[in-house]
Amino acid sequence: MIEEFIFRGFLFSKWTEKMGAYKSMILTSLIFSILHINFDFIGLFLNSILFCILYMKTKNLFIPIICHMFNNFIGNLGNLELIPTSPSSSQDTLENFIHFITKLYNNIPYFLFFTVLLFLIIVYLYTKILPKNTCKPPYTSNLQNTAH
């Protein structure tokens, strides 16, 4: 939740005022992905782009927060049985590593499928739904709407 306030609510909104929605979306997503220090840079980058689009479209930070929480929940479900806990010897550690690599290798088709699917959704949203570059960031738009 805090990540969404920082990346979408603050950085994305401020940078959109200065450099436009598209550039700030890319920059925010790059930083979001890099700071996670994770194997899944592409997935994090695409998710961040999607969260920015949702924020721009709905002008409501709650929507990307819910999507982010759901994404984390689904991601953690996959890790439940991935690595057995508390190895008692170096042999157990090697077996755990082999088990981890096998599970990871068996899940590559799912990873590729969902990465391509998410990419296609983002392209659609980016080209059909996202407001033009001249629009104001959601934070600024919401401030003006409440001032009337």
- Calculate ∠ Cα 131-40-73, nearest 5°: 80
Distance CA 19, CA 22 (A): 8
Quick one: average pLDDT of 118-137?
Answer: 67
- Which tens digits make up the pLDDT trace of 15-66? 998 998 899 999 999 999 998 876 678 888 989 998 998 898 888 888 888 8
pLDDT score recorded for residue 48 = 92
Distance CA 64, CA 125 (A): 14
pTM of the model: 0.59
| Predicted confidence (pLDDT) at residue 90 exceeds the cutoff of 60 | no
In the chain, % of residues over pLDDT 90: 14
Cβ–Cβ < 8 Å for 28, 7: yes
For residue 91, what is the enclosing H or E element?
A: helix 90-106
What's the mean per-residue pLDDT of the chain?
Answer: 75
Quick one: average pLDDT of 100-115?
Answer: 70
